[in-house]
């Protein structure tokens, strides 16, 4: 499956609506959008339509978190599915990232 990313600015915060799979083949596309954005503004990533994520996808978020901290910006993940959240928990990244599994959808 492919990866789709839709951007929407709400106030001064960028919302990224991600759908599909985040893996070795598609993670560079997410990184290309997320990493430059987090240097400029707070970013909320909506993951409720992400079916699958592998370690490459996790790496994109670890890199984005480092960039966010360096630039005093906030990175939030919302709508994280149980399957994807389990990956964050197994790796311990849920302790470092702001993750909300209860938010689904949002402003479209």
Give me the DSSP letters along 8-63.
EEETTEEEEEEEEEESTTTHHHHHHHHHHHHHHS-EEEEEEEEEEE-HHHHHHHHH
Pairwise pLDDT comparison (16 vs 103), residue with the higher score: 16
Strands 3-10 and 13-22, sheet pairing: antiparallel
Note the pTM of the prediction, 2 decimals.
Answer: 0.90
Confidence of residue 94 (pLDDT cuts 50, 70, 90): confident
Please tell me the predicted confidence (pLDDT) of residue 20.
96
Confidence of residue 101 (pLDDT cuts 50, 70, 90): confident
Please tell me the predicted confidence (pLDDT) of residue 104.
58
Which domains are delineated in the chain?
3-100 (3.30.750.24)
The answer for 105, left when phi > 0, alpha when psi is -120 to 50, beta otherwise, is: left
**18-42 pLDDT, tens per residue?**
999 999 999 999 999 999 999 999 9
CA–CA gap between residue 22 and residue 25 (Å, rounded) = 8
Please tell me the predicted confidence (pLDDT) of residue 93.
87
């Amino acid at each position: 499956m492919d990866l789709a990313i839709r951007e929407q600015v709400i106030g001064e915060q960028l919302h990224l609506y991600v759908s599909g799979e985040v893996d070795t083949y598609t993670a560079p596309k997410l990184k290309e959008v997320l990493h430059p954005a987090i240097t400029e503004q707070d970013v909320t990533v909506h993951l409720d339509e992400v079916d699958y994520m592998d370690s490459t996808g996790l790496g994109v978020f670890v890199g984005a978190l480092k960039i966010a901290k360096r630039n005093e910006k906030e990175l939030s993940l919302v709508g994280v599915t149980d399957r994807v959240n389990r990956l964050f928990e197994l790796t311990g990244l849920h302790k470092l990232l702001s993750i909300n599994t209860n938010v689904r959808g949002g402003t479209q």
